[in-house]
Structures are given as structure tokens and as C-alpha cells.
Chains A and B, each alone.
Chain A
Amino acid sequence: MSNAVIDKSAVAGDAPRPGLKQPRLPKWTPIGLALISVGLGCGIGVAGDLSSKTQWGLIAALLFVLISFTLTTKVEGSRQAKDKLATSLIWVCFLLAVIPLVSLIWETVDRGRTVLDGYFLGHSMEGVQTILPGGGVYHAIIGTLEQVGIATAIAAPIGLLTAVYLVEYGRGKLAKAVTFFVDVMTGVPSIVAGLFILTFWIIILDFDYSGFAGAMALAILMMPIVVRSTEEMLKLVPNELREASLALGVPKWRTILKVVLPTAIGGIITGVMLAVARIAGESAPIMLLVFGATGINNNPFDGAQSSLPYYVYEQWQLGNDASYNRAWAAALVLIAFVMILNLLARGIARWKAPKSGR
């Protein structure tokens, strides 16, 4: 009511307003400007004899932002120009962020595919002369699968239950202390987790190197990530659902088990999968605790094993062309492993997500 009155007086009092239609740049302007600036950037690079391609790219990016800003100011006015400035800055930042990612994947695929085949995936390095081509990554895949599997089997249930405690039951000092230590654990460097298990398990308790020892260190790294992500997911479950269930006379533990966890399960699984992807790439605890091996050892509880990140490091250390190729191929296997896990997580999250389906 009052708003309408104010609007009327404002319109009546002012000079006649400009129409709603204003000059606009054509839709293809951003693409055209981008091409022009890339051309100019290359031109300046060649003319100025700049050796680094990075400089060419940066000049092009700068030119793109400047040209689109001034052009829009001239044609469309200053408000639209600010909008264009922000848009073009975001695009430039996006490209800067994507370039390393794409070049990393390109490089790994390009170099890794030279030796990556069925033989490479199915054989170990047992008895292979390291300066000659041949050999494979089978023992490292087995090691990674077993170590990561055991670590997940330890860390996922503990992390899940901790998060359930923090969100559903935790009150007062104990909950605060748990939250604090989870935060601290998130920052523990992997080598420190490895050293802790080394001292505790191998030096004090006098066990041998094994995949299991490495898995324990990986579990320490994984646990806080699982707690954090699960906690966030459980907090997203509306309180009304808990109350609805409690009001039906369902005990709290069944409410958590049958209503809260199923509602959040997609997000929880995604969190666990991301944590798995994170620990699958750890090499420091493996060096300390699993020791590394060239042959196949299927038993994670006895004796040295290998793992994919460790294998990459080991092959790179050998320093000849054959081993470089093997290192790249193993890196490609590792990336593929993590990528498959992520895709699985997304699939499960989509499949389990609460459905609205009209």
C-alpha cells in the first residue's frame, strides 16, 4: 500500500524517464572479443619477442577484460560494464583453474598409454630387469585395493558413528572436545600418521611391515574427513522429520537408523568415496609401513606390499626410460581408479537421493 504511494510520487515528480529499451552489444561480442584478444596477445608476444607462452596468455586475458569493459561502457553504460567486468573476470579465472587440470590429465594419458595394456595390468615386477621394458602394476593394484579397503572398513564405521554422536546426541564438553580433536586430526600430515603407526605398531608392539600397518595410518587420515562430511549431511536432514518419527512413537535409535540415515545416505556415501579417493593417493605412510615390494603379496597382514602411489615413486627413482613409462602408466591407473570411485559415488548419490517424482 505505502510502496505504491511512494512509487507514484517519484514518477510524477521526476523528469520523463528514458525508455526501457537501451543499446545492446550483439550476442557474439564476448566470443569475438576473446578471439581478438587472443590474436592481439599472440601478436604482442611475437613482436615483443616474449619467450614464455604464459606471458602471451596473461596479456590476452588482460586485453580481453580491458576491451570488453571499455566497449560495454561506451555502448551500454557503466552498470552493464561492471557486470561485464565481473563476468569476464570469472571466465578468466575459470580458464586459469582449468588449464593445469586439463594439462595434467593430457600429460598423464599421453605418456601413460604407451605401456598401459592387459599385460601391464596383469603382471608384477618380480624378476623384471628394471632398465628393460616389461613388468607391470598388478602387485601395486592389489596392494592399493587391500590397504584402502581395510582403511575404509576401519575408518568409515567409526567416522559415521562419531558423526551420528555429534549431531544426534552430543551435548556439552565431550562433544566440543570431539569436534576439536576431529579438526586437529584433519590437519595431521600423512607422514606423521605414518610415524605414529611406525612407533606404536612396528617398534613398540614389534609387528612386521604389512599392508595392514599402512591401512591403519590411512584410516587415521580418512576418519576426520568422513566425520566432517557425514556431520554436514546429517545436519541437513530437517528436524521436522526427526520430530515426525518421534511423534509416531518410534524410539530415537530407530529414528536415526530408519529415517535420518536413509535421508542422508547419498551424501554420506559421496563423502566416504571422496575420503577414499584422498587416501588412495597417499605414498608417505606406505613407504614407512608397507615397505614396498616387487612381487605379488596377496596377504595384507603379513609382509611387504606395494601400492600405486608408491609404485610411481619407485619407478621414477630408477631413472631410465622404461621405468619412466611404467611410472606414468601407473599414475594413469591411479587417476582412473579415483575417477571411477567418484563416478560411483555420484551414481549412488543420485540413486539414493530423496525423490520428489510428481
Chain B
Amino acid sequence: MAKRIDVSGLTAYYGTHKAIEDISMTVEPRSVTAFIGPSGCGKSTFLRTLNRMHEVTPGGRVEGKVMLDDENLYATGVDPVSVRRTVGMVFQRPNPFPTMSIFENVAAGLKLNGSYKKSELEGIVEKSLKGANLWNEVKDRLNKPGAGLSGGQQQRLCIARAIAVEPQVLLMDEPCSALDPISTLAIEDLIGELKERFTIVIVTHNMQQAARVSDRTAFFNLAGVGQPGKLIEIDETERIFSNPSVQATEDYISGRFG
């Protein structure tokens, strides 16, 4: 079910500003790929091009190809809405819908996309909450508002919401940066379980986290302020952290950078 992503020659713009330039890489299915790099180097922008969320920003546009198995996401006639159903996303800050209960939050993706029977929804919600390791904490208060949970629980709720629509790929944009170490650990464990079923791409500023959870790591960098971000290298995580082939990667990882 999980799919391979093949990016070639991808350039993304905000209006006239070129945010990332000429990125090509392969993301393997059923594995975790981590993106690391300094702020402003275009990691998040690149992540957002993988499910066509980049163009939601006013002035955002993309050149190049993103192949999901054998389909180009940017081919003419491709509906961004169906792309986003296939490639799910979890954001930096937990963002449960404030008007909805925990149950409705998890069911939101399905409910808003069509009609489901209540019994069917209950099954999916339970499965998704269990998949996000949240079921035991919330099973007695599914009708309480989602905004009443703690930050870490909210983020796992958002992950449950994202996996409820059964995507092929899960994109995570710094999913732990607003969380305490214990919640971070819970989510990292979760990522380890989820990679059995999904292709996972995670952006992180925490290099230990990248080393802990990912199978492959990509290092992004930019030449200077206002310059577009570029992919420096992508390789097995172990190799990136022990013996990278580019000097800039080693400098960044060892903290000798800038």
C-alpha cells in the first residue's frame, strides 16, 4: 500500500522568490526519511510540495516532477484534493478542529469527504486512535472537545486524524517541536510503528531525533540569505551521521556550522 516517491528537478517559488531549486531524490516505501538542515533552507517547503499544499500559499507554484509510483502529482488533470487524500500531513503545531469532539476530529477527513455509516465510522475511529497510541487515554471521553487534550495528546490526535483516511504516505512537519520530551518519545515510538504501513517523511530540527527514527536522512542547505535552498545529500542515516560524503553535512551535524 505504501508508495515510493520519486522527485526530479523540483523548483518551488513564492511569487518571484525561488525557495528551493532543482531537488531530485527518492523516498523509499515503508521507511522513514528525515529532512534536516538550518532554518529557511526549504525543508518544509519541499515537504509541502509532496502533497501539493505548497500552492495553498498565495503565490506558491512549482516546477518539476513528483512521481508517486508511476503517477506525476503535477501532471495536468491531477486534482490536488485527491493527491492530499493519498499523501497525508501532520503539522508542527497540533491543530485539532476546535468545534469538533475527539471522535469528530478523527472522523473529520472521512465525514467531510462523503457519507459513512455510524458503525463504520466507529470502527475506523477506534482503529486510528489505537494506531496513534491514543485510544486508552481518550476512549472514555470521545465526545469531549479535542482542544481539551494536552499538547502531546493533541498531536497524536492529529496523527490519528491523518491516518484515518488511509493515506499511502504520511508527511510530518516538525511534529515534536512543540512537545515535551515524554510526548516526543511517544510520537517517535509511534513513527516506528507507522512505518510498517506508511511511507513516512519527517522534517526535524532535532538531529538526535533524525538519528533515532529515520532510515534515510536528507541534508538541505542554502548558500546565503535570499538564496534558494538545495539538497546537499541524501543517504542511509547511519552513513550521514558517521561518515557523510559532503563536508557541509559533517559541519552541520557536528555543530561547527555558521
Contacts and interface: CB of A to CB of B under 8 A. Distances in A.
A255 B145 CA distance: 19
A355 interface: yes
Interface stretch (B33-41, B77-85, B225-233): B77-85
B112 A248 contact: yes
Contacts of A254: 112-113
B246 to A, nearest CB: 32
B132 to A, nearest CB: 15
A354 B95 contact: no
Interface residues of B, number: 30
B86 to A, nearest CB: 8
Contact of A244 (B51, B95, B165): B95
Contacts of B95: 238, 240-241, 243-244
Contacts of A249: 81-86, 109, 113, 165
Given A238-B95, A246-B84, A247-B84, A355 B109 contact: no
B108 A263 contact: no
A255 B56 CA distance: 13
A34 interface: no
Contacts of A354: 98-99, 145, 147
Interface string A344-358: 000000000011111
A231 to B, nearest CB: 17
Interface in A233-260: 238, 240-251, 254-255, 258-259
A244 B90 CA distance: 8
B147 A355 contact: yes
Contacts of A189: none
Contacts, number: 84
A27 interface: no
A356 B58 CA distance: 31
A240 B91 contact: yes
Nearest to B96: A244
Given A356-B147, A357-B144, A357-B148, A247 B53 contact: yes
Interface of B: 51, 53, 56, 58, 81-86, 88-89, 91, 93, 95, 97-99, 108-109, 112-113, 144-145, 147-148, 158, 161-162, 165
Given A243-B53, A247-B84, A249-B84, 15 more contacts: A241-B95, A243-B56, A245-B97, A246-B53, A247-B89, A247-B162, A248-B109, A248-B165, A250-B81, A250-B108, A250-B109, A255-B112, A259-B99, A259-B112, A263-B99
